[in-house]
Amino acid sequence: MSTENEGNEGNAVPSAPSVPSAPPVPAAAPEGAPQGAPPAPQTPPAAPADAPTAQVPGAAHQEGVGPSTEGVGPSTAAQEQYPYAPPSPQQPPAGSAAWPPPPPAVPSYADGGSPPAWGAPVPSDEQPRKRRASGLVAAVAVAALVAGGVGGALGYWAADSSGSGSSGSTTVAASNSPKDFKRDAGTVAGVAASALPSVVTIDAKSGDGEGGTGTGFVYDKEGHILTNNHVVASAADSGQLTATFSNGKKYDAEVIGRAQGYDVAVLKLKNAPDGLTPLALGDSDKVAVGDSTIAIGAPFGLSNTVTTGIISAKNRPVASGDGSSNKNSYMSALQTDASINPGNSGGPLLDAGGAVIGINSAIQSTSGGGVGQSQAGSIGLGFAIPVNQAKNVAEQLIKTGQPVYPVIGATVTMEEKTGGAAISDEGAGGTPAVTPDGPAAKAGLKAGDVITKFNDTAVESGPTLIGEIWTHKPGDKVTLTYKRDGRTETAELTLGERKGDS
């Protein structure tokens, strides 16, 4: 699951005109002027109507540096000088107390007037120059411009408010520097600081060199890493897997087991370091809509990214795939509006206390395809595998290397808008839709029955039913509500099991 950023092309800011030369040197005072005589009044000649006025330089633009999109070109501004008035012949000679004459008046805005707006365009006869860049430059450059404008405005305010006769410093120091701030354990910053050392960025490369980036987290002190199956599927058999921690240390890894249907996989670090800290696991059954969430991952390859949101829905039926096969994964998912993008897959979804409540796995897209199948970004609809289910799968994979699925022993259609999960007329390869002597057969279910409820949860389609079944374990007793010939019936059955991915 990955996408590409495209760069844009833009124009640089026009260059500024050159600065005019310095004003003329005043003429020497005439000889013979009496010493101690008061200076003659100085009246500068009136400026013509079309004389140039003082120009305030526009805020200097900073050029952003970074990977891919539009760059912003630098610019400077020139300030025209006021016309200089030569001294009157009656001025005293050089060296007297009244010589040299006072400098020309400063621009009015320095004493409290209003300067032109920061970043105002600078006129120029030169043609604009084009620059081409890519990646994140546009965002970085805009940030630099905003910071520069704010800094300049604050500097002007400090100089003005200090008073013309003040000689004190205008520098204001914060009481504490950022490094001295303490982040409480319950804050987002505190949770992130605690969890990031236990989150890894996974690079998976297949045998032909192709691959992608995903996320995982430390499951136990033995070096097991929990992630999504679709993150490692391309490299599971003959590829290469590495896990990089937030401190930059990288380790080779291998697949211990993976469950395609659950979209869960377990890796193990080769030469795992001592002192690994597993993330604490929460209870996804106790999560409520509106609870705060924190997602950590590597969206679009940007490792150690933290986003926040809430649980926006529970028990959301989701069928997702990695786009490389015709097999889907099914989950009764936690829905969150925390930003989740390609590369977040396999990363932890945390509660406000820092406990894992889910594994980020899929996103909804507006650009066609099914959930998790489009190469698009976050629109505020992300889905996570509940951690209670992921834990059960992980323990089975660590123990045996293969998944175990609970089943009812019946094949249902994957069609939408059927008013439930309809049992097919026949199973795969012409086999019976209801397995002889299976749980559904023993409960009296037949082909054509439409299952509308699984325990107390409404069933809208086949994927909904599968997602609900897979939140349980083989041997669990459940109640099915179904329709047959217009009548509503109920049946109790004990879930069977299926080993491995078929």
230 catalytic? Reply is yes
Return d(Cα 131, Cα 133) in angstroms, integer.
7
Catalytic residue among 339, 345, 374, 461: 345
Please give the sequence-ordered ranges of beta strands (E in DSSP) within 70-168, or none if there are none: 130-132
| Residue 481: other Cβ atoms inside 10 A | 18
Contacts of 124 (CB under 8 A, 6+ apart): 14, 15, 16, 17
Q: How far apart are CA 12 and CA 200, in angstroms?
A: 40
Angle made by CA atoms 201, 206, 210, in degrees to the nearest 5: 80
Read off the tokens for 19.
Answer: 């600065």
Contacts of 97 (CB under 8 A, 6+ apart): none
**CA dihedral (352, 356, 358, 360) positive or negative:** positive
Q: Which of 15, 61, 224, 230 is catalytic?
A: 230
- Burial class of 81 by CB neighbour count within 10 A (0 to 12, 13 to 18, 19+): middle
Number of helices (H), then strands (E), in the chain = 6, 21
Phi, psi of 236 (to 5 degrees): -65, -35
Rounded to whole angstroms, how far apart are CA atoms 459 and 480? 10
**Segment holding 397, helix H or strand E:** helix 387-400
User: For residues 404 and 497, is the Cβ–Cβ distance under 8 A?
Assistant: yes
The C-alpha atoms of residue 368 and residue 110 are separated, in whole angstroms, by 58
- Token look-up 């123990």 returns 399
Question: Sign (positive/negative) of CA torsion 292, 2, 345, 404?
Answer: positive
Structure tokens at 290: 């509106």
Q: What is the DSSP string of 328-354?
A: -EEEEEEEE-S---TT-TTPEEE-TTS
Type of residue numbered 328: N
Residues 236 and 249: their CA atoms lie apart, in Å, by 22
Among 406, 419, 426, residue whose Cα is nearest residue 466: 406
**Residue 361 near residue 372, CB atoms below 8 Å:** yes
Active-site residue (options: 75, 198, 224, 263): 263
Do 126 and 14 form a contact (C-beta atoms < 8 A)? yes
Q: Which residues carry out catalysis?
A: 230, 263, 345
